[in-house]
A and B are shown apart, each in its own frame.
Chain A
Amino acid sequence: MLWGSNARETHPIFFHHLLKGVRNGAKLFVVDPRRTSSAGWADVWLGLDVGSDISLANAMGREIMAAGLANEKFIQHATSGFEAYKAHVEKYTLERAERETRVPAETIRKTAHAYAKASRAQLCWTLGITEHHNAVDNVVALINLAILTGHVGRYGSGVCPLRGQNNVQGGGDMGAIPDRLPSFQHVENDELRAKFENAWGVKVPPKRGWHLSDMFEAMDHGQLTTLYVLGENPADSEADRHRALKRLSGLEFLLVQDIFYTKTAELADVVLPAAAGAFESEGTVTSSERRVQRVRRTVAPPAGVRDDLEIIFDLARRLGHAWGTPEPEAIWNELRPLSPMHGGMSYRRLEELGGIQWPCYDESHPGELFLHGRLWSDPLIGPRAPFIVVEFEPPVDQLDEQYPIRLTTGRRLDDYNTGVQTERYASPLRCPEALGLSPEDGQLYKLREGEKVLVSSRRGSLIAPVHFDRGLRAGLAFLSVHAHEQVATNDLTIDAVDPKSGTSEFKATAIRIEKYQEG
Chain B
Amino acid sequence: MDLHFTNAQATVEEQSAIDSELGVAESGWEGGARHTELDSHASYGGASKTGARRHLLLPVLHAIQKRIGWISPGALNHVALRLDIAPAEVHGVASFYGMFSLTPRPRVVAHVCDDIACQAFGAEDLCAVLEKKLGPEGAPCMGGRATWLRSNCLGLCERAPASLVTKAGGTAKERVLAPATPDRLQSLLDDAASDVMPTAADVLNTQLSVPQAGSRQLVLLRRVGRGDSADIDRYQRLGGYEALRKALDLGPEGVLKEITASKLLGRGGAAFPTAKKWEALFLQRDLLKSNPERKHYVICNADESEPGTFKDRIVMEGDPFAVLEGMTIAALVTGAEQGYIYLRGEYPFAAERLTQAIQAARKDGFLGENILGQGLRFDIDLRRGAGAYICGEETALFNSIEGYRGEPRNKPPFPTQAGLFRQPTVVNNVETLINVPEIIRQGGAAFARVGTENSSGSRLFCVCGHVTSPGVYEVPMGVTLRKLIDMAGGVGGTGRLQAVLLGGAAGAFVSPKEIDTPLTFEGVRAIGATLGSGVVMLLDDSIDLKQILLRIAAFFRHETCGQCVPCRVGVVRQEEILQRLIAGRSHGSKAEEVVMLREIGQAMRDASICGLGQTASAALESALNRWNLF
Contacts and interface: CB of A to CB of B under 8 A. Distances in A.
**Bound pair: A and B?**
yes
Interface of A: 22-23, 25, 27-28, 35, 39-48, 101-104, 107, 428-429, 439-440, 470, 473-474
Interface in B18-50: 28-29, 34, 36, 39-49
Contacts of B3: 428-429
B25 to A, nearest CB: 14
Contact of A48 (B41, B44, B84): B41
B47 A46 contact: no
Given A428-B2, A429-B3, A474-B36, A46 B45 contact: no
A429 B88 CA distance: 14
Interface in B305-333: none
B41 A43 contact: no
Given A23-B47, A27-B48, A44 B34 contact: no
Sorted nearest first, the 9 A-B pairs with minimum C-beta distance are A43-B46, A473-B40, A47-B41, A45-B43, A107-B42, A22-B47, A428-B2, A102-B41, A428-B3
A159 to B, nearest CB: 22
Contacts of A439: 34
22 contacts: A23-B47, A27-B46, A27-B48, A28-B47, A35-B29, A35-B43, A41-B45, A42-B43, A42-B45, A43-B45, A44-B43, A45-B43, A45-B44, A45-B45, A46-B41, A47-B41, A47-B43, A48-B41, A102-B40, A428-B2, A470-B34, A473-B39
Contacts of B34: 439, 470
A22 B43 CA distance: 17
B42 A103 contact: yes
Given A35-B29, A428-B2, A439-B34, A47 B40 contact: yes
Contact of B36 (A46, A104, A107, A440): A440
A28 B47 CA distance: 9
A102 B41 CA distance: 6
Contact of A22 (B5, B41, B46, B84): B46
A329 to B, nearest CB: 44
A40 B84 CA distance: 8
A43 B44 contact: yes
A299 B274 CA distance: 63
Given A27-B48, A429-B3, A439-B34, A474 B40 contact: yes
Categorize the interface residue count of chain B: 20 to 34
Max chain A Cβ within 10 angstroms of own Cβ: one of B1, B29, B42, B44: B42
Nearest to A49: B41
A40 B45 contact: yes
A165 B533 CA distance: 60
Contacts of B5: 429
Given A428-B3, A473-B36, A104 B46 contact: no
Given A42-B45, A43-B49, 14 more contacts: A22-B47, A28-B47, A41-B45, A42-B43, A43-B44, A44-B44, A45-B43, A45-B45, A47-B40, A104-B42, A107-B42, A429-B3, A429-B5, A439-B34
A97 to B, nearest CB: 11
A121 to B, nearest CB: 15
What is the predominant secondary structure among interface residues of chain A facing chain B? loop
A473 B41 CA distance: 8
Contact of A28 (B28, B29, B42, B46): B46
Max chain B Cβ within 10 angstroms of own Cβ: one of A41, A48, A103, A429: A41
Nearest to A21: B47
Contacts of A47: 40-43
A43 B47 CA distance: 7
Nearest to B41: A47
Contacts of A470: 28, 34
A450 B329 CA distance: 63
Given A35-B29, A102-B41, A428-B3, A41 B36 contact: no
A43 B48 contact: yes
Contacts of A48: 41
B562 to A, nearest CB: 23
Nearest to A43: B46
Contacts of B43: 35, 39, 42, 44-45, 47
Contacts of A35: 29, 43
A41 B84 CA distance: 8
A25 B41 contact: no
B46 A41 contact: yes
Contacts of A101: 41
A428 B88 CA distance: 15
A46 B42 contact: yes
A429 B1 CA distance: 11
A101 B42 CA distance: 11
A40 B41 CA distance: 13
A307 B621 CA distance: 66
Nearest to A26: B47
A447 to B, nearest CB: 16
Interface string B245-272: 0000000000000000000000000000
Nearest to A449: B7
Contacts of A28: 46-47
Contacts of A42: 43, 45-46
A25 B42 contact: no
A28 B34 CA distance: 23
Interface string B2-16: 110100000000000
A39 B45 CA distance: 9
Contacts of B2: 428
A25 B48 contact: yes
Interface in B392-418: none
Contacts of A45: 42-45
Contacts of A41: 45-47
Contacts of A22: 46-47
A101 B1 CA distance: 42
